[in-house]
């Protein structure tokens, strides 16, 4: 996927529906030339409005479909605009369940115009079975007490902080939003289960001894729907360092109203124990806590108590940065 | 898939590589007319050698590709023989990742001859994400310290023993050999990772309160290539009872010469801890030990020492049966 990008947010019914595009605009602003809306769009990224033709003229290479909806379908209302983007010379990338390539009009337009369609949720690559072979370079993985708590943001904040401190670091994306931000990656929950750890070994391969790959985690070892994905990712990443992500106001595991969250210390211990299989020296750097739903006055005391309890740094990446986590690197 | 079968074991590099064929020969001997090898084959099933033409003449309906390798590929060295089987009037069934139907010569031969190609490792149904919802009926799962140690055999022996004692029990297949033996099942390592626990929930669904599903385990929580599959299977099976499978002469994890086996007690504890997420009442019934590579005089003392150490019944299913494990059922 080539940047710069035009961010298509279609007829997003609220800001949340455009969160994929928002992530790219937040973390790679220099690669985003503009946004494209349809009538009725209720989201805004705070960047220039550009037509496909104007974006192409300004140097855009790819239009990202940065709007989500229930079911992950490509709305028929978007087809004409996506075709116009292709005809303006842009590639198009989507992370939705339904493939761009499965819409005949879009497949035909791409073929006619010699443009690429990227369905990043559907890996086209063949992966090998994981080997567990120790490999050079260092890796950090974000893990979590649950899904959808900020593992991607924590990883991106860590990459940025490492680079600010002069460390060589690369974010490695394992989900659709992350892949848009990085420009590449593997949508790990769409990989055939036998090849999950092998796909992660491919994603963060041999590197220079002091180089850090900062790998985006998925799911939770304590989520009964997705723990297998999380474990394969943990083993394949072979992490030297973990960051545990947590959202303190959540009452149950995402999507499962009867399922309590794990004890945080137990969750840290279980992740470390599992990670030691492929990297016996793994360490827990600390917690990245998403405190956006806590009252301002509660945040400090909550993090202090957690830190006293767990004995590692506990920060909100968006409020405090992740400097204290990076300082704890091995 | 129609029986009787011709069992193709190709150029298997050792007896384990032919375990798919061996399983069918052991558990469905009346359906196996013969075996077919290529030069250099290091395995033997102890049954008649038959060419495809001779097998067809003797009444065989399907040739089973009963040889496995690490990547699940169809070796080009097998193509000519598989085509000969098709041209002799046999259907062909494979449990490898790579599909028979994706080899142009084989697809063409099957079309020309009106024969069927069965790729049993590729589930045709759509699965849902697992829910972890407690469900009626009882389930036993075989787990292991490593891959390829006898988890399927232990499960089949347990089904047979339960039925002998008048319990309602069904073997549930999760791998290619098991599917060949049971006639149905889900090749769990071929399921997209997001749906592994959901596929197992589908495989052993709500049942009568006293009914036992005996679920074939896969891999090991301590195998760096496959642990994610094992964990998704463990959570989806929601087992009331576990049987730990072990092969005492193995020096390293299968396929990974540098990888030691886990401590058995630690492996039992880790499996129980992980299984408690979806069934807090889970129990370890005991160990199913494959002592085929131990000297006869060593077997008794080894199992006695193990039993004293672990405090649960330790038996070789093939030598002693699994009566003592079934007696320990909750």
More confident residue, A289 or A69: A289
Q: Which of B71, B198, B225 sits opposite A197 (nearest CB)?
A: B225
C-alpha span between B32 and A244 (Å, rounded): 53
Q: How many residues does chain A have?
A: 330
Q: For residue B273, list chain A residues with Cβ-Cβ distance below 8 A.
A: 270
Identify which of A2, A13, A75, A1 has the alpha carbon closest to the alpha carbon of residue A41: A13
Structure confidence at residue B311 (pLDDT): 97
Structure confidence at residue A156 (pLDDT): 98
Does the beta-carbon distance from B228 to A235 stay under 8 Å?
Answer: yes
> A104 falls in which pLDDT band (50, 70, 90)?
very high
Structure confidence at residue B253 (pLDDT): 95
For residue A278, the chain B residue with the least C-alpha distance is B224
pLDDT tens figures, B230-255 = 999 999 999 999 999 999 999 999 99
Structure confidence at residue A299 (pLDDT): 97
Structure confidence at residue A70 (pLDDT): 75
Q: Which of A133, A188, A277 sits opposite B222 (nearest CB)?
A: A277
Structure confidence at residue A193 (pLDDT): 96
Secondary structure (3-state) at A7: strand
Is residue B85 within 8 angstroms of chain A, CB to CB? no
> B176 falls in which pLDDT band (50, 70, 90)?
confident
Q: Which of B70, B133, B196 sits opposite A193 (nearest CB)?
A: B196
Q: Is the pLDDT of residue B70 over 90?
A: no
Write down all domains in chain A, each with its CATH number in brackets: 5-119 (3.40.50.720), 138-327 (3.40.50.300)
For residue A200, the chain B residue with the least C-alpha distance is B225
Secondary structure (3-state) at A285: strand
Structure confidence at residue A277 (pLDDT): 97
Q: For residue B188, list chain A residues with Cβ-Cβ distance below 8 A.
A: 193
Mark residue A170 as left, alpha or beta (left: phi above 0; alpha: psi -120 to 50; beta: remaining): beta
Structure confidence at residue A108 (pLDDT): 98
Q: Which of residues 248-267 of B touch A (CB under 8 A)?
A: 256, 258-259
Does the beta-carbon distance from A228 to B226 stay under 8 Å?
Answer: no
Share of chain B above pLDDT 90, in %: 89
Secondary structure (3-state) at B266: helix
C-alpha span between A290 and A17 (Å, rounded): 20
Structure confidence at residue B75 (pLDDT): 93
pLDDT tens figures, B137-149 = 999 999 999 998 9
Structure confidence at residue B123 (pLDDT): 82
Q: For residue A222, list chain B residues with Cβ-Cβ distance below 8 A.
A: 277
Is residue A269 within 8 angstroms of chain B, CB to CB? no
Radius of gyration of chain A from its Cα atoms, rounded to whole angstroms: 20
Structure confidence at residue A190 (pLDDT): 94
Q: Is the pLDDT of residue B183 over 80?
A: no
For residue B175, the chain A residue with the least C-alpha distance is A194
Is residue A131 within 8 angstroms of chain B, CB to CB? yes
C-alpha span between B89 and B103 (Å, rounded): 18
pLDDT tens figures, B79-95 = 999 999 999 999 999 98
C-alpha span between B82 and B299 (Å, rounded): 41
Closest Cα in chain A, distance from residue B33 (Å): 32
Mention every residue, 6+ apart, whose C-beta is less than 8 A from residue A180: A1, A5, A20, A23, A24, A64, A66, A93, A95, A120
First vs last Cα of chain B: how many Å apart? 37
Average pLDDT over residues B33-56: 97
Mark residue B205 as left, alpha or beta (left: phi above 0; alpha: psi -120 to 50; beta: remaining): beta
Structure confidence at residue A68 (pLDDT): 84
pLDDT tens figures, A142-183 = 999 999 999 999 999 999 999 999 999 999 999 999 999 999
Is residue B69 within 8 angstroms of chain A, CB to CB? no
Structure confidence at residue A272 (pLDDT): 98
Share of chain A above pLDDT 90, in %: 95
Secondary structure (3-state) at B161: helix
Strands B5-10 and B62-65, how do they pair?
A: parallel
């Amino acid at each position: 996927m080539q940047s710069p990008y035009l961010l298509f947010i279609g007829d997003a019914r609220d800001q949340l529906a455009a969160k994929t595009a928002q992530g790219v605009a937040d973390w790679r602003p220099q690669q985003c030339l503009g946004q494209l809306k349809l009538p009725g769009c209720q989201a805004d990224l705070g960047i220039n409005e550009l037509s496909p033709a104007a974006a192409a003229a300004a140097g855009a290479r790819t239009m990202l479909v940065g709007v989500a909806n229930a079911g992950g379908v490509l709305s028929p209302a978007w087809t004409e605009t996506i075709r116009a983007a292709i005809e303006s010379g842009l590639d198009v990338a989507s992370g939705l369940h339904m493939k761009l390539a499965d819409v005949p009009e879009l497949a035909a337009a791409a073929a006619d115009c010699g443009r690429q369609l990227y369905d990043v949720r559907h890996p086209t690559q063949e992966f090998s079975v994981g080997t567990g072979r120790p490999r050079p370079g260092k890796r950090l993985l974000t893990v979590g007490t649950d899904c959808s708590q900020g593992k991607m943001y924590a990883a991106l904040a860590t990459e940025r902080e490492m680079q600010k401190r002069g460390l060589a670091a690369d974010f490695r994306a394992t989900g659709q939003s992350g892949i848009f931000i990085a420009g590449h990656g593997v949508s790990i929950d769409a990989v055939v289960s036998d090849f999950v750890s092998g796909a992660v070994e491919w994603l963060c391969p041999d590197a220079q001894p002091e180089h850090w790959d900062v790998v985006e985690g998925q799911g939770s070892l304590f989520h009964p729907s997705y723990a297998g994905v999380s474990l394969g990712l943990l083993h394949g990443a072979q992490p030297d360092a973990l960051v545990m992500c947590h959202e303190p106001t959540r009452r149950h595991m995402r999507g499962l109203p009867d399922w309590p969250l794990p004890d945080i210390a137990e969750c840290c211990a279980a992740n470390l124990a599992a990670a030691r299989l492929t990297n016996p020296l793994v360490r827990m750097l600390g917690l990245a806590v998403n405190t956006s739903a806590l009252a301002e006055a509660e945040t400090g005391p909550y993090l202090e108590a957690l830190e006293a309890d767990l004995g590692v740094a506990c920060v909100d990446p968006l409020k405090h940065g992740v400097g204290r986590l990076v300082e704890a690197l091995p």
